[in-house]
Amino acid sequence: MTLSLADAARLTAGATMWTTGAVPERNARSLMLADGPMGVASGRVDERDVSVLTPAPVAQGASWDLDLVAQMGALVGNDAITMGVDALLAPNVNMARSPLAGRAFEYYSEDPLLTGLCGAAWVRGIQSTGTAAVAKHFVCNDSETQRDTMNCVVDDATLRQVYLLPFEMACAAGCGGIMTAYNHVNGDWCAEASGPLAIVRDEWAYGGVLMSDFFATHSTAATLNAGLDLEMPGPARFLGAKAEDAVAQGLVSADRVQDAAERVIRFNQRFGGAKTPATLDSEELLTAGAAAGFVLLRNDGLLPLAPTIRTLAVIGPNATAPCYQGGTFARIAVTPDALTPLEAITATLGQHMAIVHEPGVDPQPRLPAMPVTPAMDLGDGCTTGLTVEYFAGHDLTAEPLSRETRATNSLVWFHGVHDQGRFNETGAVRASGWYVAAGDGAHRFYAGATGPVVLKVDGVEVVRRDVQPAASDIMGVLKAGDAAEGVVTLSAGQRVLVEVELRYAPARVQGLWYGVRAPDTPDAMLARAIATAAQADAVVLMLGETADASVESKDRSDTRLDPAQLHLAQAVRAANPRTAIVVNVGHAFDASFAADAAALLVAWYPGQNFGKALADVLIGTREPGGRLPMTLATQEADYPAYGLTPDDGGDLRYDDGLLVGYRGFKAQGKAALFPLGAGMGYTSFALGEARIADGRIVVTVTNTGTRAGSEVIQAYLAQSPYALVGFAKLHLAPGESATATIEPSPYILRSVPGSDAVPLVIGRNAQDAAVTLRLPR
């Protein structure tokens, strides 16, 4: 059945914020989309919409375990089924090209093959449940600075061999769709980039749907003619009915509009049918998956902790305020049952030893929580959070449109998505609750919003910010999350009414955020931490980021941890050398501060079972099974790609070319502090004979230690660009030997010039070669 031009044009734009159009007569129902990749994100950005939170892609990449990555995809697919979601905007197969990238936690690796293999495995996993994967962000959205306007300048070989490769592998795995990015690539908006889109459609013969990121289209004819099929979200802005007009004007062919519509129909038909949940032990998978990505980089024998320890000090801000994920619009509402690392360590080890804790530094340095009880009892059973009232205009003395209780300190409302109001019209919000002072002294209150905001304490204005950004700037204000502050002196136990009022102008999204910081001083916190460390038999020092450290539209300024945390690390190690440092970050970081640490463990963003996995690894019931998915440099100047600020013309030049990450270190003869693939477990391994058999690399591996453990054997090109060509992960019992079989990737070998045998090096990381082989063509 051929669609009318009007019906075909309608399908080129989403029906609503999160749905596609439907064609019932073609058995193509409307599909529900949601954001990812760490779980099924709430389209309402609502903390009550709890979903499974898996380890971040960087942690999954650190596992070097493709079966595990596929299971993570299936686990998210199961949750999507429960939530009525048909397609997830994931995986993110962009590249961790620079350690400053704001969304590096969503990327699997700095290596295109590891990224592509992980992305393809995740695609297969989620789509085994009948839920679509939509790989993103196509292409070269590898940084966040000026991402809505910047132009990535990249040569063809680099584009194909590095940045398109993970998308090609996702397409080969059958991903349901590809989502184009906000930026330009070689002068064209990604949604209008006819060159890269032609590679997808023609060279790869990809039959899935090509959709835009949300609000990332800028034209009608150029977008359709480049090959984009679906504009999101709906209602249409540039496609939809405008596609029909473009045909009438001779700017777009009717066949192109029909082709786009047919791709949307096939997408709807393929993923609109019955779903098949995977049979998984989600609790075990989340714990095992977190531990599998933990990378142990130093250990003088302190880990696993000895049972003779009588007092264990758990110090650091991330013990009680862990960073489970980054601050994007794909943020997951975490189950309230998730144990913090301190809670899990206490539950697991507390019956065997005394657990003592001090944060040492402020756990929430940017925007603290707002621990309050609702100003009103709405009969909803909520005993924590603020009462939030919605008003049609700016008059807060009027009767509110509605009320609800929200247990969060950050509210976001998209027009057409949230139930409580039309946020593209003038309106107001008031959030109010009772706060009980935690101590005597100065309390700092914070408030920020997408419009003029006032915070009052017992009716007295404490914070005022009268800025009304233009509608076009609202998204940037929301992502920045800046807040004004004011000080109120309170007595311990004093109960005060806190009211935060936002009066907003029309925009497609609105936001309000707030917090309060109880009195304490940095010097006092540090002194307590030093004293606690000194009297303990061993210390677990938990450092890292807060949830707003890795965000959309903002890259980092350097690779170092917060200066206060570095000072804490130095002081704690001086007080107690038996200190194991756990770093909770989502990107490559400066690890030189831990040069003399008894143990250094990188936990990444490990998902909701961070605490359980860490407790198990500390006592040795689980192994830290990860290896680095990216290089940690000795100094920042060594990174082949570092700065991410476009030039005055808006160009960001990919001058590192094919020599991204570890490849550049090798080409420049620079040793990394810790290279790609580095890491250890709690046992030791020996590599034996290596040979080529039937086009595969075969290596004998023996566990020479006294504990079961895993090892990752890696094969690299021995000539520039020194690319990873394959790997194998083995799990061996003490004394056990086995054969690691590595399939060299044809995606990498096809780009190696010449007809002679390909020289390879085999080892445990990108820097240290154990065996040299030649792979026949």
The predicted pLDDT at position 361 comes to 97
Residue 336: exposed, middle, or buried by beta-carbon count in 10 A (0-12, 13-18, 19+)?
exposed
Residue 397: exposed, middle, or buried by beta-carbon count in 10 A (0-12, 13-18, 19+)?
exposed
For the residues 557-562, what does the mean pLDDT come to? 96
Amino acid (one-letter) located at 435: Y
The predicted pLDDT at position 391 comes to 96
The predicted pLDDT at position 34 comes to 97
Query: Edge-to-edge, what's the strand order for the sheet holding 410-414?
Result: 410-414, 509-517, 441-449, 484-490
Instruction: Answer yes or no: are the C-beta atoms of 743 and 726 closer than 8 Å.
Output: yes
568: its two tokens: 């804490």
Cα separation, 542 vs 340, in Å, equals 12
Residue 675: exposed, middle, or buried by beta-carbon count in 10 A (0-12, 13-18, 19+)?
buried
Cα separation, 37 vs 53, in Å, equals 9
Cα separation, 758 vs 725, in Å, equals 11
Instruction: Answer yes or no: are the C-beta atoms of 132 and 119 closer than 8 Å.
Output: no
213 included as an active-site residue: yes
Q: What are the residue ranges of helices labelled H in 576-688?
A: 610-619, 662-668
pTM of structure: 0.97
**pLDDT range class, residue 437, cuts 50, 70, 90:** very high
The predicted pLDDT at position 668 comes to 96
Question: At the top level of CATH, which class does the domain 373-517 belong to?
Answer: mainly beta
CATH number of 5-271: 3.20.20.300
Report which of 63, 67, 41 is spatially closest to residue 52, judged by C-alpha positions.
41
**How does pLDDT run across 14-43, given as a tens digit for each residue?**
999 999 999 999 999 999 999 999 999 998
Q: How far apart are the first and last CA of the chain?
A: 49
Residue 550 has pLDDT above 80, yes or no: no
The predicted pLDDT at position 549 comes to 76
For the residues 388-395, what does the mean pLDDT come to? 96
Spell out where 392-483 has E strands.
402-406, 410-414, 427-436, 441-449, 453-457, 460-465
**pLDDT range class, residue 712, cuts 50, 70, 90:** very high
Residue 700 has pLDDT above 90, yes or no: yes
Domain ranges across the chain: 5-271, 282-365+521-653, 373-517, 683-775
Q: How far is CA 646 from the centre of its chain?
A: 23
The predicted pLDDT at position 50 comes to 94
Q: Which residue reads 């990809």 in tokens? A: 206
- Range with the lowest mean pLDDT among 114-118, 324-328, 387-391, 554-558? 324-328
Give ∠ CA 549-67-624 in degrees, rounded to 5: 55
Instruction: Answer yes or no: are the C-beta atoms of 590 and 543 closer than 8 Å.
Output: no
CATH superfamily of 683-775: Immunoglobulins (2.60.40.10)
Residue 755 has pLDDT above 80, yes or no: no
Decide which of 297 and 417 is more confident: 297
- Range with the lowest mean pLDDT among 350-354, 413-417, 503-507, 639-643? 413-417
Task: Give CA separation, 715 vs 161, 163, 590, 605, 659, in Å.
Answer: 18, 21, 26, 27, 17
The predicted pLDDT at position 419 comes to 75
**pLDDT range class, residue 45, cuts 50, 70, 90:** confident
**pLDDT range class, residue 480, cuts 50, 70, 90:** confident
The predicted pLDDT at position 420 comes to 74
Residue tagged active-site, from 79, 86, 213, 616: 213
645: its two tokens: 């600020």
Q: Sign of dihedral through CA atoms 301, 303, 307, 309? A: positive
Residue 513: exposed, middle, or buried by beta-carbon count in 10 A (0-12, 13-18, 19+)?
buried
Instruction: Answer yes or no: are the C-beta atoms of 226 and 184 closer than 8 Å.
Output: no
684: its two tokens: 């030791």
**pLDDT range class, residue 144, cuts 50, 70, 90:** very high
Report which of 362, 687, 690 is spatially closest to residue 529, judged by C-alpha positions.
362
Report which of 614, 611, 533, 605 is spatially closest to residue 569, judged by C-alpha positions.
533
Q: How many other C-beta atoms lie within 10 A of the C-beta of residue 129?
A: 20
3-class DSSP state of 445: strand
Report which of 624, 642, 692, 561 is spatially closest to residue 142, judged by C-alpha positions.
642
Report which of 289, 386, 278, 242 is spatially closest to residue 607, judged by C-alpha positions.
289
Cα separation, 520 vs 507, in Å, equals 39
- CATH number 3.30.413.10 given to 282-365+521-653: no
pLDDT averaged over the chain? Answer: 96
Helices (H) and strands (E) in the chain, counts: 18, 33
Residue 327 has pLDDT above 90, yes or no: no
Residue 202: exposed, middle, or buried by beta-carbon count in 10 A (0-12, 13-18, 19+)?
exposed
Residue 515 has pLDDT above 90, yes or no: yes
The predicted pLDDT at position 1 comes to 72
Q: Any bridge partners for residue 495, and if so which?
A: 436
Report which of 254, 233, 137 is spatially closest to residue 191, judged by C-alpha positions.
137
**pLDDT range class, residue 774, cuts 50, 70, 90:** very high
**How does pLDDT run across 648-699, given as a tens digit for each residue?**
999 999 999 999 999 999 999 999 999 999 999 999 999 998 999 999 999 9
Residue 454: exposed, middle, or buried by beta-carbon count in 10 A (0-12, 13-18, 19+)?
buried
Instruction: Answer yes or no: are the C-beta atoms of 37 and 330 closer than 8 Å.
Output: yes
For the residues 173-179, what does the mean pLDDT come to? 98
Q: Any bridge partners for residue 554, and if so which?
A: 551
Residue 383: exposed, middle, or buried by beta-carbon count in 10 A (0-12, 13-18, 19+)?
exposed
The predicted pLDDT at position 551 comes to 78
Task: Give CA separation, 562 vs 56, 317, 559, in Å.
Answer: 21, 11, 10
Q: What are the residue ranges of helices labelled H in 83-201?
A: 112-127, 156-158, 165-172, 194-198
Cα separation, 134 vs 230, in Å, equals 12
| Residues 263, 266, 271, 273, Cα dihedral to 10° | 160
The predicted pLDDT at position 738 comes to 97
Phi, then psi, of 715 in degrees rounded to 5: -120, 135
Helix (H) or strand (E) holding 299: strand 295-299
Q: Sign of dihedral through CA atoms 551, 553, 554, 555? A: positive
3-class DSSP state of 24: helix
